[in-house]
Amino acid sequence: MFTAEGAPPTNALNRLIGGPFGAFLLKPWYDPVALQGVVRFFMPASRAWAAANISNGDPAEFLKALGKPRSVGAGLIKAIADTDQLRDVYQLSERAWQDAALNGAAGPMLSGLEDKRMAAADAWMRARTAFITSHLINPFQPVKFEIAAEADVERAHSARLADVAAAFPGAGELAGLHQSTPCDVHGRTLSWVRFPAGIDSGFGWARVEEPRTKAKGAVVFCHGIMMEREHWASLYDQAALFLEPEGGELAVISPEGPGHGRRLAPGYYGGEPVLARGVKGILDYFAEHVIEVGRLIAWARKTYGGPVAVAGVSLGALTAQLVTSAAKYWPAEAQPDAALLLTTNESLIDVTFNGSLASSLDFPGELARAGWPTDKIDRWRPLVEPGAPVVPPERIVCVLGTTDTVTPYQGGMRLAQRWGIPEKNVFHWTGGHFAAAFSVLRDRTPIHTFKAALAQAGRA
């Protein structure tokens, strides 16, 4: 339940990072270690897990999905079978939860089903760790690259490129959004919004967390690549920062991005298609998600009545800044009133060709071998990189890591300078990408500055 000070309960990771251990951890040394852990272990294990998810427990089908010959010992056979079983358990719990959420189930019933759903989802997600031993013996690839051809990108996105002002249509439309009954889950007032999504997705979902008092406004928070808060029990809990009383409690709307969580593409892990499909994967992601965020901004404004902001971390920050730019062409109700960008960069081309995550995966090399040199990619900049913001510069807050090599620091500084963001709104954490993303758990000043900017919008 809520503490005596009225703040919402926080998870173990938030407490760990916010405590003495975080002072040791969030230093420049942390990011190179974290990046290697992601690239060398998490992503390859996830690749094997994704193949297992479409193998129905059959090792032969697993190898076919993996696309790489290898021996299959007893440990790998068990990991494949366990993943298949845990996926089935999760899908049963998810269906039961969705039936209740979409049909007006009472809060206590939905709370119990949510606990079961999250436990099943977390167990299924963690099943990928069983593939690490096999990976150490015979490495799995971190990404199954299937770079789309230039002709495929032209068919999908050339019309959008021809009219950038109409590249993200329908952001203010509210038809088809359905909110579940609010319920209490471990001291949080939660509900979920389901909304029609793109061709491959069917429906998207957003988690809604509300303060116990009347919300002073709302923030739509966009997650980073491979971050699936609805499926991992102990991920960084960004909502706690906005629900804290200091500076005003906000409602927090956390959408699942395309290809993540409930929107997994068969045979992929969360976020993999963004990289695996190359230019088309990136364009597809933003084409769909930017519009969804605009619709959720309009929904939040209608629901809560106060100002509404957009925020994000890493890939989510790249999404949020594109929203602030594309929104110039949207209805007023879909335009954000403030923005918070954690670990961002003005140029996705910079992130692709100079970022350490992309280079560690040889993403630039994969693109070049598939017929995508830099000059061809450059043509698509207007659909993935922001122009001038609809949000006044004094209502935009950035947090940048001074040694960030994933979304390189200088690119974030260029965005801040081009947009004219006041120096007092740009925070420089001495550390890299991951450390800077966590830094607001140790120093709330950027959050308080952001809340003040949003409150100013409410008074305007």
Q: Is residue 248 within 8 Å of residue 451, measured between CB atoms? A: yes
Q: Where in the chain do CATH 3.40.50.1820 domains reside? A: 150-459
Of 342, 339, 344, nearest to 454 (Cα)?
339
Strand 338-342 to 396-401 pairing: parallel
Residue 165, CA atoms < 13 Å, CB-side half-sphere:
2
Of 178, 171, 244, nearest to 208 (Cα)?
178
Of 216, 371, 236, nearest to 309 (Cα)?
216
At residue 144, what is the residue type?
Answer: K
Cα separation, 347 vs 47, whole angstroms:
28
The torsion angles phi and psi of 247, rounded to 5 degrees, stand at 85, -5
To the nearest 5 percent, what fractions of the chain are helix, strand and coil?
55, 10, 35
Residue 178 neighbours by CB under 8 Å, 6+ apart: 102, 193, 194, 195
Q: What 3-state DSSP class applies to 255?
A: strand
Strand 188-196 to 183-185 pairing: antiparallel
Q: Exposed, middle or buried by CB within 10 Å (0-12, 13-18, 19+), for 83?
A: buried
Cα separation, 322 vs 215, whole angstroms:
26
The torsion angles phi and psi of 15, rounded to 5 degrees, stand at -65, -40
- Residue 287's alpha-carbon distances to 295, 309, 367, in angstroms, are 13, 20, 20
**Residue-by-residue pLDDT tens, the chain, 460 positions:** 223 344 456 677 888 888 888 888 888 899 999 999 999 999 999 999 999 999 999 999 999 999 888 889 999 999 999 999 999 999 999 999 999 999 988 889 999 999 999 999 999 999 999 999 999 999 999 999 999 999 999 999 999 999 999 999 999 999 899 999 999 988 889 999 999 987 656 899 999 999 988 899 999 999 999 999 999 988 888 899 999 998 889 999 999 999 999 999 999 999 999 999 999 999 999 999 999 999 999 999 999 999 999 999 999 999 999 999 999 999 999 999 999 999 999 999 999 999 999 999 999 999 999 999 999 999 999 999 999 999 999 999 999 999 999 999 999 999 999 999 999 999 999 999 999 999 999 999 999 999 999 999 977 6
Of 115, 119, 123, 128, nearest to 42 (Cα)?
128
150-459 CATH: 3.40.50.1820
Q: What is the model's pLDDT at position 7?
A: 47
Cα separation, 157 vs 445, whole angstroms:
40
Cα separation, 219 vs 230, whole angstroms:
17
Q: Is 291 left (phi over 0), alpha (psi -120 to 50) or beta?
A: alpha
Q: Is residue 2 within 8 Å of residue 184, measured between CB atoms? A: no
Quote the pTM value: 0.95
Q: Is residue 437 within 8 Å of residue 404, measured between CB atoms? A: no
Q: Is residue 118 within 8 Å of residue 28, measured between CB atoms? A: no
Cα separation, 421 vs 296, whole angstroms:
25
Cα separation, 65 vs 51, whole angstroms:
5
Q: What 3-state DSSP class applies to 339?
A: strand
- Residue 359's alpha-carbon distances to 328, 350, 394, in angstroms, are 33, 11, 34
Q: What is the model's pLDDT at position 27?
A: 86
